[in-house]
Structure 1
Amino acid sequence: MFPRRSYCNGLLVRRHKRHFESRQHSYIVGAAQSSTDLAWIPFDRDQFSNNTALDNDGNVQLFWKIGDDYSSYGIASRSNGYLALGFSETGAMTGADMALGYKADNGSFMLENRHAQGFVRPDVSPDQTVNMRFKEGDQSDNLTHFIFDKKNMADCLETQVDVMRDSWQWFIYAHSDSNTFAQHKDGQMGKKYVKLGTGKDVSLNVVSNVNNAKNFTVLQPELTIPAKETSYCYTLHKMPAGKKNFLVGEQPGEAGSMLHHLVLYACYDLPDSYLDMLGKEANCDARAVKNPCNGFVTEWAPGMAGRTFEPGFGKPFGEDLYQYAMLEVHYNNPDLIEGVKDTTGYSFSWTDQQVETEIGSLTTGALQGDGWFLEPGKELVTISRVCTPDCTRNWPEEGITAVAVFHHMHFRGVNTWVQIIRDGKEIMPLSTLRHFEYGYQFSKTLNEIKLLPGDRLITTCQYNTMNDTQPVPGGPSSADEMCFAWIDYYPANSILACTEVDLSLIPSSPINGSAGFCLDYTKDDPIFSSASTLTADYEHLPPSGNNCSATDGGTATGPAILQTCPETDVCFSLNVPASSKTNLERRAEPGDIFFQLSAPTSYSWVALGQGTTMSNANIFVMYSSADGKNVTLSPRTATGHVMPTHDTAASISLLEGSGIANGKMIANVRCSNCKNTMALSGGDSDWIYAHLKGPSIASDDLETPVSQHDDHGAFKWDLSKATGGSSPNPFLAAGSSTTSSSSSSAQPSLRLVQAHGAMASLAFVAIFPIGAILVRLANLSHLAWIHGAIQLLGYAIFIAAAGIGISLAKQGSYLSKPHAGIGLFLLAVLFFMPIVGALQHRLYKKVHKRTVWSYGHIFTGRVAVVLGMINGGLGLKLADAPSRYKIVYGVFAGLSGSLYIGAMIFGEMKSASERKKAVALEKESSGSSTECRRSPTTLFATSCFMASRSIFFLAHPNCFFFRILPRSPTNNRFASRSPCSLLIRIYRRCSDVALRSPASWPVLSRVDEWSASASSITAVATLALIFLTTEEDMKLHLLTIAGLIILATPARATGVTHGDSCTRDELGQKRCEKDGGHVMLCSNKNACVKYPAQ
């Protein structure tokens, strides 16, 4: 049903990378080596076990010795200025953990730990004592050197990098002839990929000769690069002949300035129709070329070098596997330059001798190139794809050993990793790559990680879409994005790819939704299986390495900064100087506090406030200044959920470091009188925040109006973690210690509010109406039980929502609000609904008509559903929800309510129609009965009945209790003494007269329902009056009246006793017993006539 060739067309061919920026770096790759000309090194070389030259000329030498917790490094340079050594995950500056040595103005030698956030001046890291420990250093005689220890496992991945002590590590370096730390000159920097420890791997990451190896070249003939931004060119090549051969080394050819990347695919079972491509010029019409080759051989992108496998290892190919390979060359020509010619390819070393260990390649990630999108305007957007156990169970019983991973994204890529889940637990990441740089891709060597059958592999990619205004699609263009991890492993097996796909995007697929996808080259069809991603359970790697703990600052005594990021791209920080707390303890002035607001410029404004609600809170609103280079911080206050007004009493000032740079707004703030709403003695402090995305306000006016926020929340800060230091600007102070406060963020309470609203809405907008509509319109067996089950499910969900709501209401003192009052009323009323429903169902089976309990159940339910929908809107108003939530709820509640009311009206019309048929039947059976004609006496009695009943129930709901009392001398005497006695006597006398004529029965029955409906409407109107008064006593009184009306509504006026034959009761009225599903009425001929039950 899913042929492998047709299904995989396009899945494995969309892999490419935008050409890296035009920065020149000396690129050297090598293992540990020694030099015979090291006499100039100014320190004892014997304290180290390994050495390598970082530059081509040997003028920058690196020494190291690997330890358990710390490893020692020494670096020396023939230069007379600063010297920097960086530990990098990719070979780029971005994310590098750097040691900077220089000679200070006072003659002392200094070492600083710095962190590079890009190709910019690296920042001083908060930790200057734990991550790196300075041992010695000096600068003299045109030589600069220093020795330090570095911690192997980073404490804070936000500013530090793990050392690949048993594998390959990227080092970057720079030096200068000046001690002023400024940008280096060309030729004074470089990078090197160095194997630090003794860990085993299969690739030397160097090109070297292999004994008895042969060579062949996969070469794309010269072509003219198309004058368009993105071009894919394909050429087919025949591999060397033989049953089974092995690749043992590879080296890409020279790269032109527009070459983006190369991928060589293995063509398993190549259709004969493609053989015409052999020896032909490249086809650069990507849409016309459907690449049938779904195996992976190798890849190259700028920043990578050639490689040679360790002796005894090789990648298999040949007649038993594949004989042809498709070369895909991606050119990037953003300037649409015409006439540029290029030729490129690979040179391979191979052997026809059996190797000891065969190497395979497994593709994971988003193989399905289209159908997925990234949300624009986000600092971090995450996608994950799962390789399911159903596929990995096809591995050998002893498992496989992963030796290298090539991670691939486009220019938005930030972080990527592959996790290993075994027996439901994450055991370790297979590979992690932070601070991804699209110009620095490479095959990351691993220290031989074992993978077992049944393992689940989760490939995750993170992207920065801050510069995008539209959703970013997955796809082949450089403007699109990709997420791949190609894993080299041994021993090789037949599994080529393992991931999940969306079958609904395949026109020929009869299946919708995600499925596991396993590609086995020995089978004609891919293997599909259930795809349970479980990604969220295992995404333990925090965005951007934001996992720094309270001890990350080591022994530093600088300011203690507490930071929380309630949104991925919106962060707030706080510092309480030690003197402010001390002054408070001495009952002196508390002094200053410092806080920081940080958000992208895609936000119109961002606000931070002290307190739990907007009312009377100190609020600080940040937005862009008029010149677009700085920020305006407006102190404000509010009386409630209204636009805050400028607070002239606030004493605040913007500090250095505030402004707009690199697409981010930052306000470093000192507040001198925030003590009014903040206790500095420790414990939790309540804060609120809000923001609005949109165009820049661009104003210097502190009173400029701002539009309503699109999101908001609250959180708590533990002041004990924010207290310390004495810097006048803690956010720029060296040695400051920043603690992430994600655990105390307000998101849990915001999520509780959202959960409360979602569950209550689900109950009243969906489940309750569905259950009611079914019982009115459906014709199913066991309908009553189905109705009961649905409504019980809705009530269970509502109980959970009410529990959350009560907890939130207690926290925010909302129990006195109408929303909470109505919710509690509904919770109490609905508690009795299952009991009343079961009782009325039992009675209905006996009498086959509606009873008092039936009407109680029906009309109370109707009022409750409508009231619940209305209360949902009140809840959104109370929560000050964004407009988009109110609109969505209004649309769904309106549609659901309209459908519900329409169904109820239709049901009543249907019942009325059945009653008309019953009247006709009664007339036909009774002949020309004079009693069937409504005499003036009967009409008068009926009118009397209707009037007295309406007054009785609508004007005096308390009379309900006497209405339902059974007739007895005692009760009559009790009723006669009540204020309602007159109404009761009039009502009963009129009903007795009217009921003596069967012709009055349909009228009286309808009056019953009209009065019940009128009572329901009156109850809803009474509840609505609650919102029009501010008097709490009046609200309680109105709520009591509404409850009495609802309870009185079910009372029936036409209850009649029956006899086996026409007999007269004590009032002289004729009565008959019921017969099956009918009521027997006496005709004028004293005969019992069947009357359909109501």
Structure 2
Amino acid sequence: MHRHVTYIFNHQGHLSRPRCATERSHYLNSPMLYAKITMFESGAKTVVFMCMCFVVVNTEDSITETHEVVMNAKYDFRFKWRIDEDNIFIEMSANTLGYVAIGFSPNGGMPGSDIVVGWVRNGQSYLSDRHAITYSKPEADTTGDYTLLYGHEDGGRTRIGFKRALNTCDDKDNIINADTIRVIWAVNSIDPEDSDDIMYHNTSRGVRSIIILDSQQTNFTFPKDYNYFEGFMPNVTVPDNSDTTYWCYSFAVPTFENPVHIFRAETIVQEGHESLVHHLLVYSCRSMNMNWSSNCFSPNMPTDLRNCDRLVYGWAIGAEPLNFPEHVGISLGKENDPTVYFIELHYDNPGLSPDFHDNSGVRFYYTSTLRQYEAGVWQFGELVSPFQAIPPKEQLFKTFGICYGDCTRQALDVNINGFFVFLHSHLAGRQMKLQHYRNGHLIEDVGRDDNYDFNLQDARVLQPERVFKPGDDFVVTCGYNTADRDSITKGGLGTKDEMCVAYIYYYPKQSNAGACQSVPDLNEFNSAFNIECDTAECIYARLSEMDPTLVREGLHNVSYNGKRNNYCRDLDYNNIPGVEFYKDFPAWFGENDRIEDQNDVCSPTGVTGSSISIMPPGSIMLIMLFLARTVILTMK
């Protein structure tokens, strides 16, 4: 049996062993020496090779970043990154001549954060790998998992480039995965004297939620023949008698001499209204009712607008513009294409301010160079309904929206390719996932976020594209935290109500793929609580009189086990015939179903029958200075 294990002696004489199965090179912050020992075990002999090496900082000037986020406007702190297989290349820069720092945080605070600090001093660049235990100076890691690539100071700005593995296998580092990641940042105007002299940042710090994996690239290239049209709310006076308002507005789609394809959609929020505009949906239809503006629940809404249900675009707080792949677009200008776009905008006004007059809206970019496929949007999850019920004082209570295979058989004429997924819940949402099943077996997590942030709801790129077939099943699972609530949280349109929905952007467009959703049946509440009600209002009135423990247990049974109402709808939101309405909770589904990664980069490599004695730092340095290569044969 042959084994090899690599150990690293750093410049301080400490021995460390990489925790990943693959060998990693450790770059120091300046040209220094390190010793690398590789042990080969074969039978009774152990052969140790030790090499003397100089490590020089890479002289690159920049990384070829594909993503960029402005963390802070005052310092123009920019976080750029690029994913390359199992590694992430990062550049952090800010208007300072001191240090810049970022950290990957579990919750937006310092404790538990994986932090890296970089600076340039006297023309030499430095990088320090650290971790925070409390709200104090972060401690230095015993293993260096960040590789410094370059550092520059120019025009009052510091720029540091480095790389690391997505999973460093260091328990002091946080894994970078598809979850929403809270990235903390800090700057200081003074360079540290050394790596132990990291000074307090005072108030020059902050946090931003970022989707690092599966996010859209920021270096988008526009076609040469692009143009755009837009629609904005007509100076809507946001009502001050409710914290939640849904306002609707219709505007005309331009008339085109020849068909065009939309390739980009963008929401433009009026400056100063970032906390007011929560989310919006844009629907399409054929109508003569242009420029209609009113509360979405107005009884005076024209009938054809009330039936304007073909979803084109969705946006929520924190989302970036939606850029379609080069082979996909949304069609306009053909004979049966829509003449009207219809905005449904959710205003969140918890302070009941009478001073909001809003002109936010949307912009659609199009090209006359038609693309290969026409896109559609398919909605999944739990029907927005008060029969979604979440008990109070819960750390993580789950509800489920199931799309049954008998619906997808009717909705799809052919296999489709999904290229974006969009997950949406409200304030209590903490986890979300859309899972894809076939013949009772989990295929994959189409979209998953175990660290969901209500304030960052953006489309995630499906790369490679996913193939969905007629007869496939889907489940949207949402986990909610209601520890600070005293009453049941219901499904509904308000910000303090909840939703559990997901959208897939796909091609080729299907006429029957509008929505595939479910919700617990009313009679499941009657059975679970031994009551007789025929409305949600009656149910919640009765539950308010019951012991909270019994309410919790009953709602758990309703959510996890009960029969469900199955809603299968076409693009015009009509129920598709031939689909069973009452469905059992699926036996093939388990709430903890997950496809495990078989490529465990952190599996330990054992060292059997061998011992390593750690020499004093001085001895190591003497050996490194005088020996270029030493071969030691040790007999057992």
Q: TM-score range by the shorter chain?
A: 0.5 to 0.7
Amino acid at match of 1:491: P
Counterparts of residues 611-626 of structure 1 (less than 5 Å)? none
What code does the residue aligned with 2:326 have? P
Q: Give distance in 2, aligned partners of 1:449 and 1:489.
A: 9
Question: Which residues of structure 2 form unaligned runs of 5+?
Answer: 1-55, 120-124, 191-197, 524-532, 536-561, 606-636
Structure 1 position 253 matched with structure 2 position 268: yes
The match for 1:805 is: none
Partner of 2:58: 44
Q: Is the 8 A contact 1:71 1:152 kept in 2?
A: yes
Structure (1/2) with the larger strand percentage:
2
How far the C-alpha of 1:319 sits from its partner, in A, is 4.6
**CA deviations over 1:708-729 (Å, ceiling 9, x no partner):** xxxxxxxxxxxxxxxxxxxxxx
Report matched runs for 1:750-829 at 5 Å: none
Distance 2:64 2:162 in 1: 15
Amino acid in structure 2 at the alignment position of 1:521: L
2:449 matches 1:433: yes
CA, structure 1 residues 496+551, in 2 after alignment: closer, same or farther (shift >3 Å)?
Answer: closer
The 1-side partners of 2:462 and 2:589 are apart by: 25
1:112 aligned to 130, 135, 146, which one? 130
> Could you say if the C-alpha distance between residues 44 and 337 of structure 1 is closer, same or farther in structure 2, counting changes exceeding 3 Å?
same
1:296-311 aligned within 5 A: 296-311=311-326
- Deviation (angstroms), 1:479: 1.8
CA contact 1:51–1:62 (8 Å) conserved in 2: no
The answer to whether residue 406 in structure 2 is matched with residue 406 in structure 1 is no
Residue 382 of structure 1: aligned partner: 398
Q: Which amino acid aligns with 1:518?
A: C
Aligned 1:264-663 pairs, distance under 5 A: 264-268=281-285, 278-283=290-295, 285=297, 291-317=306-332, 319-351=335-367, 354-394=370-410, 399-447=415-463, 448-494=465-511, 495-502=513-520, 504=522, 513-521=563-571, 525-527=575-577, 528-529=579-580, 531-534=583-586, 537-540=589-592
- For residues 435-494 of structure 1, what are the alpha-carbon distances to aligned partners after superposition, in whole Å with 9 as ceiling and x for unaligned? 222222211222122222222111111111001111111111122111111111122212
Give the counterpart letter for 2:422 in structure 1. Answer: F
Matches of 2:492 and 2:253, distance apart in 1: 29
- Residue 430 of structure 1: how far off its partner (Å): 0.4
User: Does the residue aligned with 2:394 lie in a helix, a strand or coil?
Assistant: coil
In the alignment, does 2:233 pair up with 1:220?
yes
**Corresponding residue to 2:187 among 175, 199, 206:** 175
TM superposition shift of 1:63? 7.6
**Structure 1 match to 2:25:** none
User: What's the secondary structure of 1:391's corresponding residue?
Assistant: helix
2:421–2:504 Cα contact (<8 Å) kept: yes
For residue 407 of structure 2, give the secondary structure of its aligned residue in structure 1.
helix
For 2:37, the equivalent position in structure 1 comes to none
Q: Distance in 1 between matches of 2:227 and 2:398?
A: 44
Query: In structure 2, do the counterparts of structure 1 residues 144 and 346 end up closer, same or farther at CA, with 3 Å as the change threshold?
Result: closer
- Pair 1:185-2:197 in alignment: no
Q: CA deviation at 1:375?
A: 0.9
- For the Cα contact (< 8 Å) 1:267–1:292, is it kept in 2? no
Structure 1 residues 522 and 479, CA gap change in structure 2 (3 angstroms): closer
* Higher helix content, 1 or 2: 1
Q: Contact conserved, 1:205 with 1:307, CA < 8 A, in 2?
A: no
1:121-176: CA deviations, max 9, x gaps? 59979x9578x714459999898777765333587999834346xx9999664333
Distance 1:168 1:474 in 2: 23
1:344-390 per-position Cα deviation (integer Å, ceiling 9, x unaligned): 21121234664212111111112233222101001111111111111
Distance in 2, matches of 1:95 and 1:392, equals 45
Q: Deviations over 1:41-74 (max 9, x none)?
A: x942449863477658998677877555445556
Corresponding residue to 1:239 among 231, 236, 253:
253
Task: Quote how far apart the aligned CAs of 1:513 are.
Answer: 4.6
RMSD: 4.8
Percent of counterpart pairs with the same letter? 20
Contact 1:94 1:437 in 2 (8 A): no
- Structure 1: where are the runs of 5+ without partners? 1-41, 556-1094
- Provide the residue aligned with 1:819 in structure 2: none
Offset at residue 333 of structure 1 (A): 1.7
Within-5 A mapping of 1:92-103: 98-101=114-117
Instruction: Indicate the SS of the match to 2:245.
Output: strand
Which amino acid is the alignment partner of residue 162 of structure 1?
A: I
CA distance in 2, matches of 1:355, 1:73: 33
Deviations 1:702-755 (A, max 9, x none): xxxxxxxxxxxxxxxxxxxxxxxxxxxxxxxxxxxxxxxxxxxxxxxxxxxxxx
1:821-860 map, 5 Å = none
Q: How many residue pairs get matched?
A: 482
- Aligned-pair distance for 1:429? 0.5
Cα offsets for 1:758-777 (capped at 9, x unmatched) = xxxxxxxxxxxxxxxxxxxx
**CA separation of 1:157/1:411 partners in 2, compared to 1, >3 Å: closer, same or farther?**
farther
Q: TM-score, length-normalised on structure 1? A: 0.38
Of the structure 1 ranges 482-491 and 343-352, higher mean CA displacement relative to structure 2 is found in 343-352
Greater RCO (Cα-Cα under 8 Å, separation 6 or more)? 2
Between the aligned partners of 2:379 and 2:137, the Cα distance in structure 1 is 37
Aligned partner of 2:174 in structure 1 is 160
Give the whole-Å Cα distance in 2 for the aligned partners of 1:520 and 1:357: 20
Partner of 2:620: none
> C-alpha offsets along residues 605-632 of structure 1, whole Å, 9 cap, x if unaligned?
xxxxxxxxxxxxxxxxxxxxxxxxxxxx
Deviation at 1:279, TM superposition (A): 2.5
Question: How far apart are the structure 2 equivalents of 1:354 and 1:133?
Answer: 47
Give the structure 2 partner of residue 30 of structure 1.
Answer: none
Structure 1 residue matching 2:377: 3-state secondary structure: strand
Asked if the contact 1:206–1:308 (Cα under 8 Å) also holds between the matched residues in 2, the reply is: no
How far does the alpha carbon of each residue in 1:304-346 deviate from its partner, in whole angstroms, 9 at most, with x for none?
Answer: 2323334342113555254333211222222222243222211
- Map Cα deviations across residues 772-803 of structure 1 (whole Å, 9 max, x no partner): xxxxxxxxxxxxxxxxxxxxxxxxxxxxxxxx
Deviation at 1:433, TM superposition (A): 1.5
Q: Which amino acid aligns with 1:373?
A: A
C-alpha displacement of 1:392: 2.1
Distance in 2 (alpha carbons) for counterparts of 1:489 and 1:95: 40
Distance 2:126 2:571 in 1: 65
Structure 2 CA distance for partners of 1:169 and 1:388, relative to 1, 3 Å:
same
Which residues of 2 match residues 927-1006 of structure 1 at below 5 A? Answer: none
CA deviation vs aligned residue, 1:988-1028 (integer Å, no higher than 9, x gap): xxxxxxxxxxxxxxxxxxxxxxxxxxxxxxxxxxxxxxxxx
**Alpha-carbon deviation of 1:98?**
3.6
Distance 1:358 1:330 in 2: 28
Q: Measure the CA separation in 2 of the matches of 1:351 and 1:314.
A: 9
Q: 1:295·1:496 contact (CA, 8 Å) conserved in 2? A: yes
TM-score (norm: length of structure 2): 0.63
SS in 1 for 2:509: coil
513 and 481 in structure 1: CA distance in 2 versus 1, 3 angstrom threshold: same
Q: 1:431 to 1:369 in 2, by over 3 A?
A: same
